[in-house]
């Protein structure tokens, strides 16, 4: 026996280097003519984290009379002097004479850069010796992240500017599900924009309407998330600081009398457009006209003539200019009391206009939360939020062609706005209560009869006042339901609805969820007093504990909501948005539970929970017991500081009952530590504009009252 060494030179497509073949065979025998003819790399320009396939083609050339049994293949990398194993496959198959075999080796790379690799294929010749083939490969791992640039044009504090984010895809493949987010020291109307695809080698600009909060250095953070066909979701964030100028909106007027008129020159000395500029003259003993300038750009001037007529003697003319600062002022109209700087909507002449292009994620309205727990926040709601909410409500309450929704709630309240856009989407009628002066139960009931209302939205205090002013069922026979929400309905009020045969539909909702989360039908309300029903279609409700883990049926916890009606977040408030969401969805801050039928019961705010002497007290439980007293019209319960117990239970009570009578009523119904130690009697509970109890005002009343000795 003697050893035969066989060397075969081949053309390498990827690395342009010859393969090296080492073989061992039997003396005098015809050896197999085997080689690695090519190693393909897919994708050709991989990125970090992406799966890369190296496919080696092994060929047993014509003329050979021996089969090559492939026992394995290895991909090796060269971190230092020697090659280390990187990927391996075992026993992939045989290569008969004149045949070939493709061997895939799979690997990914953590960082970009050029890699020198080597493919090794080893095995034995049938009837011969062993054979090892090698093939060098060079692969370049590309920088995966696209180039991102952001530019804020002419930023001025408090003025809307266009922030342009440019994303350049330098790869030879498409970026999928590209999501661009802009945040920082600016308020952004639509902070998130999405594109389904950014093609290979393409560049696209994303334009955001941004308002810098303060003058000076403004930080802009751009986050781009995307996916590749063979790789994971990637995220790249860039930060840029720009200089923001102070707002300067000075418009200076100079005037000269000439003949029977005044020549006025307006000069914009500021750094922002003056829009809708109108110059007027005022005199006590003459009639002075006005002139419309329109938009006056910075450093621009405009000269107009104001006619002066009916002069009685010598007239002194005061010249004024009215204008709006571009990007800051918003025209406001109202249906409510005219004690704000706004126009009455009922006196505005409608104008025709082309409906602007709209996408499902465009923000359609922003409403402020009631602010019972702190500073009100602007909730941004999209076209999808509102449309899905309308559809889900229709599934629960039904829609009839002749429906006429009577709406006495203010338009700045979600409960007041929802019937308007829903009726438009349904193609039904809505009657909006105007006239100002606050809620009038007599006027409301009369209007509902006059308009043959089929649906109406109330908060509990409204319905209570109507019942106090009327006997029996005060509503028209046409009424299908009373949608009762905005605050937890007292059990006594719901019992009275049953007694008066009023079709009440208790509902639970929030501005952040586009109104309704869950709603009980009138039948469900009668059968299970106190429930707000099952969640609406498309809405998921999870009850979680303090560790955000779902609890069992019947157990109390925080109510968390998810689904297409939930807002994407608070306008310009990234921190509050992040704090309001967990893995299960939007954290409502309310405590509740679900029964065996999935019906939801809402008890109180999570931060209302009272800890007195180490014992947990649920204020919702105390409140329900108080309201069950026939002499109590309404109540509010919360904890106030106490030197001995840490907190003590305190109650505001509306009703014709003494403190002794009330505490005696509670003796057999509440444990001692749950009974109120402070009781304050008031004529009415303090409430916010949306009808919920003003907790801060209530707390002030209770904290100044002494604790009882009981």
Q: Which H or E run contains 621? A: helix 619-627
- CATH for 20-141, among 1.10.10.60, 3.10.20.600, 2.60.40.10, 3.40.630.10? 2.60.40.10
CA atoms of 421 and 167, how far apart (whole Å)? 37
678: pLDDT strictly greater than 80: yes
Average pLDDT of 628-642? 87
pLDDT band at 6 (very low <50, low <70, confident <90, very high): very low
pLDDT at 229: 63
pLDDT at 321: 84
Decide which of 307 and 448 is more confident.
448
Same fold, 251-325 and 365-603: no
Residue-wise pLDDT tens digits, 83-123: 455 678 888 889 999 899 999 998 888 788 888 889 999 99
Residue-wise pLDDT tens digits, 180-191: 988 888 888 778
> Where are the chain's structural domains?
20-141, 147-244, 251-325, 365-603, 609-703
607: pLDDT strictly greater than 50: yes
Residue-wise pLDDT tens digits, 692-707: 788 878 888 888 777 6
The CATH superfamily label for domain 609-703 reads ANL, C-terminal domain (3.30.300.30)
Q: By C-alpha distance, which of 37, 32, 38 is closest to 69?
A: 32
pLDDT band at 169 (very low <50, low <70, confident <90, very high): confident
pTM over 0.85: no
Q: Which of 10-19, 126-135, 421-430 has the highest mean pLDDT?
A: 421-430
Give the residue carrying structure tokens 């309001």: 580
pLDDT at 108: 83
pLDDT band at 16 (very low <50, low <70, confident <90, very high): very low
28: pLDDT strictly greater than 70: no
pLDDT at 342: 63
pLDDT at 70: 92
pLDDT at 230: 58
Give the residue carrying structure tokens 């090296």: 20
DSSP letter for 31, please: P
pLDDT band at 21 (very low <50, low <70, confident <90, very high): very low
CA atoms of 139 and 115, how far apart (whole Å)? 5
pLDDT at 5: 29
pLDDT at 506: 96
The percentage of residues in the chain with a pLDDT greater than 90, rounded to a whole number, is: 31
CA triplet 702, 705, 707: central angle to 5 degrees? 105
CA atoms of 305 and 279, how far apart (whole Å)? 9
420: pLDDT strictly greater than 50: yes
pLDDT band at 22 (very low <50, low <70, confident <90, very high): very low
CA atoms of 608 and 600, how far apart (whole Å)? 19
Q: Is 76 within 8 Å of 129 (Cβ atoms)?
A: no
Decide which of 342 and 418 is more confident.
418
pLDDT at 596: 93
Q: How far is CA 401 from the centre of its chain?
A: 33
Q: Count Cβ atoms within 10 A of the Cβ of residue 113 and give its class: 0-12 exposed, 13-18 middle, 19 or more buried.
A: exposed
pLDDT at 360: 82
Decide which of 334 and 501 is more confident.
501
| Domain 365-603 class in CATH | alpha beta
Dihedral angle over CA of 85, 86, 91, 96, nearest 10: -90
pLDDT band at 437 (very low <50, low <70, confident <90, very high): low
CA atoms of 637 and 609, how far apart (whole Å)? 10
pLDDT at 569: 86
Residue-wise pLDDT tens digits, 526-578: 999 999 999 999 999 999 998 889 999 999 999 999 999 999 888 877 788 88
201: pLDDT strictly greater than 80: yes
Average pLDDT of 412-427? 92
| Domain 251-325 class in CATH | mainly beta
Its CATH architecture, for the domain 147-244, is Sandwich (2.60)
Cβ count within 10 A of residue 234: 18
Q: How many CA atoms lie within 13 A of 537 on its CB side?
A: 11
522: pLDDT strictly greater than 90: yes
CA triplet 637, 641, 642: central angle to 5 degrees? 110
Average pLDDT of 522-527? 94
pLDDT at 113: 83
pLDDT at 36: 93
Q: What is the CA radius of gyration of the chain?
A: 38
Q: How far is CA 597 from the centre of its chain?
A: 30
Mean pLDDT, the chain, integer: 82
């Amino acid at each position: 026996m003697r050893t035969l060494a066989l060397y075969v030179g081949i053309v390498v497509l990827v690395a342009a280097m010859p393969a090296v073949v080492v073989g061992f065979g039997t003396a005098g025998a015809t050896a197999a003519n085997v080689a690695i003819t090519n190693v393909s790399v897919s994708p050709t320009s991989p990125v970090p984290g992406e799966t890369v396939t190296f496919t080696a083609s092994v060929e047993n050339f014509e003329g050979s009379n021996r089969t090559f049994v492939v026992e394995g293949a290895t991909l090796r990398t060269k971190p230092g002097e020697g090659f280390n194993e990187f990927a391996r496959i075992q026993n992939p198959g045989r290569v008969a004479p004149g045949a070939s075999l493709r061997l895939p080796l799979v690997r990914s790379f953590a960082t970009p850069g050029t890699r020198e690799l080597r493919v090794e294929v080893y095995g034995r010749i049938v009837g011969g010796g062993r054979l090892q083939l090698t093939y060098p490969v060079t692969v370049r791992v590309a920088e995966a992240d696209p180039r991102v640039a952001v530019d804020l044009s002419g930023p001025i504090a408090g003025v809307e500017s266009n922030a342009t984010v440019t994303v350049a895809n330098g790869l030879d493949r498409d970026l999928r599900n590209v999501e661009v987010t802009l945040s920082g020291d600016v308020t952004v109307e639509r902070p998130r924009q999405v594109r389904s695809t950014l093609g290979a080698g393409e560049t696209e600009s994303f334009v955001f309407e941004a308002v810098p909060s303060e003058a000076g250095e403004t930080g802009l953070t751009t986050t781009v998330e995307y996916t590749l066909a063979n790789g994971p979701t990637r995220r790249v964030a860039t930060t840029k600081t720009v200089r923001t100028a102070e707002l300067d909106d000075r418009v200076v007027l100079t005037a000269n009398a000439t003949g029977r008129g005044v020549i006025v020159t307006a000069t914009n000395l500021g750094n922002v457009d003056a829009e809708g500029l109108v110059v007027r003259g005022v005199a006590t003993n003459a009639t002075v006209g006005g002139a419309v300038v329109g938009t006056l750009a910075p450093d621009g001037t405009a000269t107009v003539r104001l006619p002066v007529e009916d002069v009685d003697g010598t007239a002194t003319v005061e010249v004024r200019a009215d204008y709006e600062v571009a990007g800051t002022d918003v025209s406001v109209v109202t249906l409510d009391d005219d004690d704000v700087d706004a126009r009455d909507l009922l006196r505005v002449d409608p104008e025709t206009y082309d409906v602007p292009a709209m996408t499902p994620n465009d923000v359609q309205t922003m409403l402020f939360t009631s602010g019972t727990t702190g500073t009100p926040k602007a909730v941004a709601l999209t076209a999808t939020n509102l449309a899905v909410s309308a559809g889900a409500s229709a599934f629960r309450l039904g829609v009839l062609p002749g429906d006429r929704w009577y709406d006495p709630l203010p338009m700045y309240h979600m409960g007041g706005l929802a019937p308007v856009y829903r009726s438009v989407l349904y193609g039904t009628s809505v009657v909006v209560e105007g006239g100002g002066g606050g809620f009038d139960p007599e006027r409301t009931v009369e209007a509902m009869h006059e308009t043959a209302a089929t649906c109406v939205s109330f908060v509990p205090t409204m319905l209570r006042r109507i019942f106090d002013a009327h006997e029996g069922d005060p509503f028209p026979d046409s009424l299908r339901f009373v949608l009762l929400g905005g605050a937890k309905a007292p059990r006594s009020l719901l019992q009275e609805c049953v007694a008066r045969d009023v079709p009440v539909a208790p509902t639970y909702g929030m501005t952040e969820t586009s109104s309704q989360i869950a709603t009980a039908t009138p039948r469900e309300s009668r059968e299970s007093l106190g429930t707000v029903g099952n969640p609406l279609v498309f809405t998921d409700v999870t009850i979680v504990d303090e560790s955000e883990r779902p609890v069992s049926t019947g157990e109390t916890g925080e109510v968390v909501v998810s689904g297409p009606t939930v807002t994407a977040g608070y306008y310009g408030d990234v921190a509050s948005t992040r704090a309001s969401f967990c893995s299960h969805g939007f954290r409502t801050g309310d405590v509740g539970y679900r029964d065996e039928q999935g019906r939801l019961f809402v008890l109180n705010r999570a931060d209302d929970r009272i800890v007195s002497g180490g014992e947990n007290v649920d204020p919702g439980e105390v409140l329900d017991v108080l309201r069950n007293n026939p002499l109590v019209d309404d109540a509010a319960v919360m904890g106030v500081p106490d030197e001995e117990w840490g907190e003590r239970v305190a109650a505001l009570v509306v009703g014709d009952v003494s403190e002794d009578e009330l505490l005696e009523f509670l003796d057999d119904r509440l444990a001692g530590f749950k009974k109120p130690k402070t009781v304050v009697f008031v004529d009415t509970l303090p409430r916010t504009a949306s009808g919920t109890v003003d907790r801060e005002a209530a707390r002030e009343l209770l904290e100044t009252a002494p604790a009882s000795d009981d």
